Structure 1
Amino acid sequence: MAPRRKKIYEGKAKILYEGPEPGTIVQYFKDDATAGNGQKKATIEGKGVLNNRLCEFFMMGLQNVGIPTHFLRRLNMREQLVRQVEIIPLEVIVRNFAAGSIAKRLGMEEGTALPRPIVEYSYKNDALGDPLVPEEYIIAFGWANQQDLDDIVSLALRVNDFLAGVFYGVGIKLVDFKIEIGRVWDGDFMRLVVADEISPDSCRLWDIKTGEHLDKDVFRRDLGSLTDAYSEVARRLGVLPTNPEPTKPTLIN
């Protein structure tokens, strides 16, 4: 029997295990869904499989356009191999339209187009509810320096351009999303890469024509089936085949 893998960390939606080679981690996608910093919980059949496949699709897409990520390869239905990185303790949020907390904070109607993409940061700390933090705090507390922040903003906006284009092409509006950034060292040289995950768990996605939600707000706001919403995103992007091809060869006379 294979030795049990060492668990490094378990979060709300993923478990991280030590990878097979030094400097790697296995990222396992759970079927758990949480909202309100874990106050609302449920197990959603198949969610982990969908998020693993969608995350692979986005990470490989980013790498293909020259945006560095921690992704190495998908291992199976629920797991992917990623590079071990030092995570900067920030959630980097990019907003194209007002929704969620910014709409509440500024009294804006959800769906209002913002004058330009807005990048903001929250401090990664569940106990505090991931509070919004200004650049001043980030630099003062040494979470990142000014050069890092400049690089993070440019990375986040490049990710936004890529994702917004991909979604627009399949009739989906990218309202907002959040990413995490990790540091990778090559000798003395440090570079920043997109880490954690990109999936409908971490984006707000609305159907362009109907305004239907195709993201975790379906669960947060009790708008229907989360699996159906995520499957629809995967179907439109061609990530999951809708009708698997028959494997039996067809004889042609």
Structure 2
Amino acid sequence: MTRRRRVYEGKAKVLFEGPEPGTLVQYFKDDATAFNGEKKATVTGKGVLNNRISEHLMLKLAEIGIQNHFIRRLNMREQLIKEVEIIPVEVIIRNIAAGSICKRLGISEGTPLPRPIIEYCFKSDELNDPLVSEEHITAFGWANPLELDDIMSQSLRVNDFLLGLFSGIGIRLVDFKLEFGRYYEGDEMQIILADEISPDNCRLWDAATNKKLDKDRFRRDLGGVEDAYQEVARRLGIIPEGGPGDLQGTNAIQ
């Protein structure tokens, strides 16, 4: 591919300008980070797997009317996406107690929650993505009340769909993070799903054993990170039972 301008680089992905106005190329890295970047490593093939898993889930969500930024996969590590104005709020949807909510509220890990709980974090690495309320979001203008209602409604629909999808392949969807953006087309603006959905930003447990099949294997030094991501991809039918194929993928645009 030709050289393109780098627009943004995060902990797990790089965004490049796209081939057409209003598009970007999203490149998935093999970098693994935790604790706001304090812990770092490289997991060979992680970017390839996340690219394929996120593609699969975004396409499935589009089929039920959840508009998102995915256009098409370009190669093993890159996908073409719509350019959006990211809303600086991370949406956390929790079905089972795990992670920070256990520490904050003294709940035992694995406790089923009475209903899906939505939490919001201000998207800021410098501030360690602090928990915020709806009042903060609207008062500081990160999103207006109508946009926030739309985000909450879409998040619950995504959760309902993914709960069923993962349950069907023997996986418990414990919690996950979503990001949304404003997509402009002519004079029209709509809030659409952005970023990615993968074992990097979902907690996924085997339904029979509660074995962790997500980034917690890296956070907690459990080992087998790549194997866990491959297992998720296998159950989703993305890679064959015999093996994942070429995990190195093709060259990135530079």
TM-score where L is the length of structure 2: 0.94
1:142-162 deviations in Å (ceiling 9; x for gaps) = 000111111000000011011
Aligned-partner residue type, residue 88 of structure 1:
I
Shift of 1:4: 1.6
Q: What secondary structure does 1:211 align onto?
A: coil
Shift of 1:224: 1.5
The list of structure 1 runs, each at least 4 consecutive aligned residues, that deviate by more than 6 angstroms after superposition, is none
1:84-112 deviations in Å (ceiling 9; x for gaps) = 00000010110001100011100000111
1:226-245 deviations in Å (ceiling 9; x for gaps) = 1000000001110111237x
* Number of the residue aligned with 1:115: 114
* Number of the residue aligned with 1:60: 59
Q: What secondary structure does 2:75 align onto?
A: coil
Shift of 1:225: 1.3
Shift of 1:185: 1.7
* Number of the residue aligned with 2:12: 13
Alignment of 1:44-59 (within 5 A): 44-59=43-58
1:47-100 deviations in Å (ceiling 9; x for gaps) = 000000000000000001111000000000000000000000010110001100
1:15-65 deviations in Å (ceiling 9; x for gaps) = 000000110000000000000000000000000000000000000000011
Q: What secondary structure does 2:126 align onto?
A: helix
Q: Output the CA distance in 2 between the equivalents of 1:4 and 1:183.
A: 27
Say whether residues 1:34 and 2:41 are aligned partners.
Answer: no
Q: Output the CA distance in 2 between the equivalents of 1:208 and 1:106.
A: 25
1:130-184 deviations in Å (ceiling 9; x for gaps) = 0000011101100001111110000000110111111000000000000100111
* Number of the residue aligned with 2:246: none
Aligned pair count reads 243
Aligned-partner residue type, residue 201 of structure 1:
D
Q: Output the CA distance in 1 between the equivalents of 2:89 and 2:65.
A: 23
Aligned-partner residue type, residue 235 of structure 1:
R
Over the residues paired in the alignment, what is the CA RMSD in angstroms?
0.9
Mark the runs of 5 or more structure 1 residues left unpaired by the alignment.
245-253
Mark the runs of 5 or more structure 2 residues left unpaired by the alignment.
244-254
Q: Output the CA distance in 2 between the equivalents of 1:147 and 1:101.
A: 28
Higher relative contact order (CA 8 A, sep 6+): 2
* Number of the residue aligned with 2:123: 124
Q: Output the CA distance in 1 between the equivalents of 2:123 and 2:219.
A: 20
* Number of the residue aligned with 2:177: 178
Aligned-partner residue type, residue 19 of structure 2:
P
Say whether residues 1:205 and 2:204 are aligned partners.
Answer: yes
Q: What secondary structure does 1:185 align onto?
A: strand
Q: Output the CA distance in 2 between the equivalents of 1:29 and 1:80.
A: 9
Q: Output the CA distance in 2 between the equivalents of 1:41 and 1:154.
A: 34
Q: What secondary structure does 1:54 align onto?
A: helix
Larger radius of gyration: 1
Q: Output the CA distance in 2 between the equivalents of 1:149 and 1:103.
A: 26
Shift of 1:3: 4.3
Q: Output the CA distance in 2 between the equivalents of 1:6 and 1:162.
A: 36
Q: Output the CA distance in 2 between the equivalents of 1:224 and 1:210.
A: 17
Q: Output the CA distance in 2 between the equivalents of 1:207 and 1:225.
A: 14
Q: Output the CA distance in 2 between the equivalents of 1:66 and 1:196.
A: 17
Alignment of 1:1-253 (within 5 A): 3-243=2-242
- Report the identity percentage: 67
